Amino acid sequence: MKKKILGLVTLASVLTLGLAACGGGNSKGTDSSGGSATGGSETTDVASFPIATTNKDEAIKDGVLDVAVATDSQFKGLFQWEFYQDAYDNMFMGPSHEQLFTNDGDFKITNDGAASLDLDQEAKKATITLKDGVTWSDGEPVTADDIIFPYEIIGHKDYTGIRYDETFRRIVGMDEYHDGKADSISGIKKVDDKTVEINYKDVNPSMLQAGGGVWSYAAPKHVLKDIAIKDMESSDPVRKNPVTFGPYYMSNIVPGESVEYSPNEHYWNGTPQLKKIVMTSVPTSSIVEALKSKQYDMVYQMPTDIYDTYKDLDGYTNLGREQTSYTYLGFKLGKWNKDKSHVEYNPDSKMADKALRQAMGYALDNGAVGDRFYAGLRSNATSLIPPVFKTTHNSEMKGYTLDIDKAKKLLDDAGYKDVDGDGIREGKDGKKFTIKFASMSGGETAQPLADYYIQQWKSIGLNVEYTTGRLIEFNSFYDKLENDDPEIDVYQAAWNTGTDPNPDGLYGPTAAFNYTRFESDENTELINNISSSKSFDADYQKEAFDKWQEYAFEEAFVIPTLFRNEVLPISDRVTNFSWAYDAPNPWATVGVSADTRK
């Protein structure tokens, strides 16, 4: 036993590793039995960060804005709302791809954007009306046909993306269209060139959320209509020269590396301030040095695990906000049936015993991880609804916190016993039991954090090994998840929920994003309650969200590990940029007040 204890990577050594990359630091930490890590690291309150630039100088003419996206992977370059899948492509779409609707601080749709939404609950009908002057970057007007076209893409049987789910099935006539029994969607009506009516089988409050039950985007039908839907994802208008109606358009794309943007002279909501924007992928290992040498005006996806190395850089201010995101552990419990667009839960899968999953959650001290790896910019996650959603987050839940004794008892009672006395538990059948763990590479923290998880699981007697023997590159990682690689039993990933907290799109039975492939009658019923018309009543909605969060905690098909805050370093020469969730499109107003960064 002494050799096994000394061989463990304790939280103390993991945290020392993480802090050494940030300039050092002293810490007390766990021993192999999983004691807590405390002291030695200053935490940071994201509420104290500004949310917008304070530079009041006038923007210069013909300014150029240099933007970095900190990433260790090349972006995929799926620059169409119907096809993009990850946060990196979404970052690159920011200056050019505008949504139809704006939203308030609670992410409710407002009518200040390119279109307005009217939801008639009694008639179960949504009416979308375009404003005058909304024009594509090639000079063609945005029309009702462009609002309807995304539904025809996503609902088509040859659609290659992953967004066809229950929100689309609720539209009258969508099932018939998807099954090839109808050439059009009977529930969608073009009233005139600017107005569309959509009839639903039922309506729910998510339809009032930005990015919720009503698709918030248009697609340029005049550009895409002659491309077969099965070929659309790989087509030039998606990957090389997208036509958009945001303040800028993508004028030059270097695949996987950078995008250059030029002003959209047809932009409907004012005149863009800049001559050019250049957005570039930059490795996380070199992003701080790039800032120190004043190469960029702002950095998206800035790693918070190295916050101490850039928190006081001359010439920059750090904006900060809560994220609509969380990190989580997911357990593979089945497969995706592509033909039926439905998850297939396997009650006999390796990780099917919820006691095993719960034990793995209680083995971890994510509160200490958040404090020590991320300077308090991340914290122990308690539920699957992040606290940024103040009206639906269950603030009473405590989540999974470190309790080694409880973890061991759960495994004992479930029948995972150490049969041969080597300190490692066998399976319920008495045979060798190995769990395959997949986690992504990238950044200073990925390896030591994953090592900590594996060794904490070892401390409760579980033999956990890396899928492929090492951490996995971002794109390969998600390819394996989507294709239900049998070498993944548990994985660590993160979700950006978007602006609608409804869990149907991530954990419902028809959601392709439901990577765990978990399904139960109770889970479906609880999600359906959230998605029902009864949830227009605020008290009912709150209760429905609370019950689902409590159920998800108990079943532990996914265990949230870290709530996340994000930091945006921004040059002091940048003007008129707000990072607030309820701000108008910041790319429409952003400028620079000097030719160079100082």
Kindly report, residue by residue over 366-396, the tens digit of the pLDDT. 999 999 889 899 999 999 999 999 999 999 9
C-alpha–C-alpha distance, residues 413 and 179, integer Å = 47
In the structure, what pLDDT confidence band is assigned to residue 442 with cuts at 50, 70 and 90?
A: confident
pLDDT of residue 486: 97
Q: Is 335 exposed, middle or buried (0-12, 13-18, 19+ CB in 10 A)?
A: middle
**pLDDT tens sequence across 532-561:** 999 999 999 999 999 999 999 999 999 999
* Cα-Cα-Cα-Cα dihedral sign, residues 310, 315, 317, 323: negative
Average pLDDT over residues 421-428: 96
In the structure, what pLDDT confidence band is assigned to residue 25 with cuts at 50, 70 and 90?
A: very low
**pLDDT tens sequence across 306-343:** 999 999 999 999 999 999 999 999 999 999 999 999 99
**pLDDT tens sequence across 97-143:** 999 999 999 999 999 999 999 999 999 999 999 999 999 999 999 99
Average pLDDT over residues 593-597: 97
pLDDT of residue 384: 98
Phi, psi of 47 (to 5 degrees): -65, -20
In the structure, what pLDDT confidence band is assigned to residue 47 with cuts at 50, 70 and 90?
A: confident
Looking at per-residue pLDDT, the higher value among 435 and 374 belongs to 435
Statement: residue 5 has pLDDT above 60: no
Residue 70's SS3 state is: strand
CA quadruple 533, 537, 539, 545: dihedral, nearest 10: 30
Query: In terms of DSSP H, where are the helices of 380-503?
Result: 404-414, 446-459, 474-482
Q: Per the structure block, which two tokens stand in for 34?
A: 């999983």
In the structure, what pLDDT confidence band is assigned to residue 37 with cuts at 50, 70 and 90?
A: very low
C-alpha–C-alpha distance, residues 141 and 302, integer Å = 37
In the structure, what pLDDT confidence band is assigned to residue 23 with cuts at 50, 70 and 90?
A: very low
SS (H, E, C) 406-438: HHHHHHHHHCCCCCCCCCCCCCCCCCCCEEEEE
pLDDT of residue 129: 98
- Percent of the chain past pLDDT 70, that is, above it, reads 93
pLDDT of residue 375: 87
SS (H, E, C) 169-220: HCECCHHHHHCCCCCCCCCEEEEECCEEEEEECCCCHHHHECCCCCCCCCCC
Statement: residue 9 has pLDDT above 80: no
Q: Which CATH class is domain 323-565?
A: alpha beta
Statement: residue 510 has pLDDT above 50: yes
Residue 594 is classified by DSSP as S
Domains 99-236 and 323-565 share a fold: no
H or E stretch including 574? strand 574-575
pLDDT of residue 570: 98
Per-domain residue ranges of the chain? 99-236, 323-565
Q: 271: phi > 0 → left, psi -120 to 50 → alpha, else beta; which?
A: beta
Statement: residue 12 has pLDDT above 50: no
Statement: residue 26 has pLDDT above 80: no
The mean pLDDT value of the chain amounts to 91
Nearest to 489 by CA among 531, 562, 433, 567: 433
Statement: residue 39 has pLDDT above 90: no
E strands along 255-361, which residues? 258-263, 274-282, 298-300, 316-331, 334-337, 342-345
C-alpha–C-alpha distance, residues 376 and 183, integer Å = 54
C-alpha–C-alpha distance, residues 532 and 121, integer Å = 11
H or E stretch including 109? strand 109-110
Average pLDDT over residues 173-202: 97
Average pLDDT over residues 434-461: 96
Best CATH choice for the domain 99-236 from the list 3.30.1490.20, 3.30.70.360, 3.90.76.10, 3.30.230.20: 3.90.76.10
Q: Per the structure block, which two tokens stand in for 547?
A: 């019950």
Statement: residue 500 has pLDDT above 80: yes
pLDDT of residue 44: 78
CA distances from 159 to 65, 82, 227, 302, 504 (A): 36, 9, 12, 34, 20
pLDDT of residue 380: 97
Residue 567's SS3 state is: strand
C-alpha–C-alpha distance, residues 24 and 36, integer Å = 20
Looking at per-residue pLDDT, the higher value among 502 and 36 belongs to 502
- Percent of the chain past pLDDT 90, that is, above it, reads 87
Average pLDDT over residues 51-76: 96
Average pLDDT over residues 212-216: 93
C-alpha–C-alpha distance, residues 261 and 76, integer Å = 18
pLDDT of residue 160: 95
pLDDT of residue 14: 33
pLDDT of residue 42: 54
Phi, psi of 287 (to 5 degrees): -70, -35
pLDDT of residue 265: 97
In the structure, what pLDDT confidence band is assigned to residue 18 with cuts at 50, 70 and 90?
A: very low
In the structure, what pLDDT confidence band is assigned to residue 57 with cuts at 50, 70 and 90?
A: very high
pLDDT of residue 24: 24
Contact 214, 171 (CB under 8 A): no
C-alpha–C-alpha distance, residues 35 and 48, integer Å = 31
In the structure, what pLDDT confidence band is assigned to residue 7 with cuts at 50, 70 and 90?
A: very low
